[in-house]
Amino acid sequence: MPELPEVETLCSSLKPHILNRRITAVDIFETRLRKEVVEHDFVQWVIDQSITSLDRRAKYLLWQLGNEATVVFHLGMSGRIGVFFNPSSREKHTHVVFHLENCQVHFRDPRRFGLIQVIPPHQFARYAGFEKMGLEPLSADFSTAAIAGRIEKSQKPIKLWIMDAQNVVGVGNIYANEVLFDARIHPMRPAHTLSAAEREQLVTSIKRILESAVKRGGTTLNDFRDAEGEPGFFQMDLQVYQKTGQPCGVCGTEIQKNFLSGRSTFYCPNCQV
């Protein structure tokens, strides 16, 4: 479900409710997520700690605690995090409930591809996974110059290149399709065949599409909601994703669908070359 704009939206909608609040208890109902949820880690490092900051890194949500431990969340395909102010019944597939002074935070994930991990104090920098991740696309250091070397070396289709978190983080299947339409680049083009001008355009389009989606509060196709249960609206701006057979907004040619490494791929065969 969630790519960078959805996680960013979740983070900012959750922040006002839980920043500087203390976690009083954690209930774990299901430990079989992408990685085992370790109850002992919550007892040792999370209970009675305050949340001193919330951040997004790639598609991960991070809670920094007063003791310098970190709680890492990933929503997988179907994860949701919601804040509740009244004692509310637990929905099906709600696996973990955080009790705070002022509210409850529910983690729900039917498909269980998501993740909740506790990183003990001062170990985040060494946490496997984050150190080998690529650049944040909305940061100033994500530039044509920064990616030129990696893109020139890669034979893989450009769509798979931009979805590879070692190159750039946060771009999943929806936004990869939309970015390549915006850049007028065919998704199957081997990455190294992009000209300098196309690489420049690609960087511009990645930033533009993601920023625009963040402003719209993400994309709600079926079930994405922010922490307060509000949907996003970027689905109204989608140009190609799930538009098979519909006319391209630029030239009127029918949008095509293919599969690339098992993922649905949408493009205008006339505009994208």
The distance of closest approach from Cβ of residue 221 to DNA in the complex, given in angstroms and rounded to an integer, is: 4
What's the closest the beta carbon of residue 55 comes to DNA, in angstroms?
Answer: 15
Segment interacting with DNA (CB under 7 A) among 62-70, 95-103, 148-156, 204-212: 148-156
Pick the binder of DNA from 20, 101, 111, 196 (CB under 7 A): 111
Q: Which of 157, 158, 203, 213 binds DNA (CB under 7 A)?
A: 157
| Residue 76 touches DNA, criterion: CB under 7 A | yes
Instruction: Out of 21, 28, 100, 113, name the contact with DNA by CB under 7 A.
Output: 113
Q: Collect all residues with Cβ–Cβ distance below 8 Å to 86 and sequence separation of at least 6.
A: none
Runs of H (alpha helix) within the chain: 4-18, 39-45, 144-153, 158-163, 173-183, 196-215
Q: Write out the binding residues for DNA, residues 119-138 only, by CB under 7 A.
A: 129
Shortest approach of DNA to residue 66 CB, angstroms?
A: 27
CB nearer to DNA: give 15 or 34.
Answer: 34
Active-site residue set: 2-3, 59, 263
**Which amino acid, residue 240?**
V
Residue 181 CA, chain-centre distance (Å), reads 20
Task: Supply the DSSP symbol for 234.
Answer: G
| Smallest separation (angstroms) from DNA to the CB of 17 | 21
Is residue 112 a contact residue for DNA (CB under 7 A)? yes
- Residue given tokens 């992009």 in the structure block: 194
Residues 117 and 35: beta-carbon distance below 8 Å: yes
- Please say which residue, 47 or 233, places its beta carbon nearer to DNA: 233
Which residues have a Cβ under 8 Å from the Cβ of 78 and sit 6 or more positions away? 1, 109, 110, 111, 113, 114, 223
CB 266 within 8 A of CB 243: yes
Question: Which residues, 182 to 201, sit near DNA by CB under 7 A?
Answer: 191
Least distance between DNA and beta carbon 210 (Å): 12
Q: Residue 102 gets which letter from DSSP? A: S
For DNA, which is the closer residue by CB, 15 or 263?
Answer: 263
Give the position of tokens 């996680």: 7
Residue 267 found at the interface with DNA (CB under 7 A)? no
Stretch that binds DNA, among 20-28, 46-54, 140-148, 151-159 (CB under 7 A): 151-159
Identify whether the C-beta of residue 180 lies closer than 8 Å to the C-beta of residue 9. no
Query: Strands, E, within the chain: which ranges?
Result: 23-28, 51-57, 60-65, 70-74, 80-84, 94-100, 104-108, 115-119, 256-260, 263-267
Chain residues binding DNA by CB under 7 A are: 1-3, 6, 32, 34, 58-59, 74, 76-78, 92-93, 110-113, 129, 153-157, 160, 163, 165, 172-174, 191, 218-224, 261-264
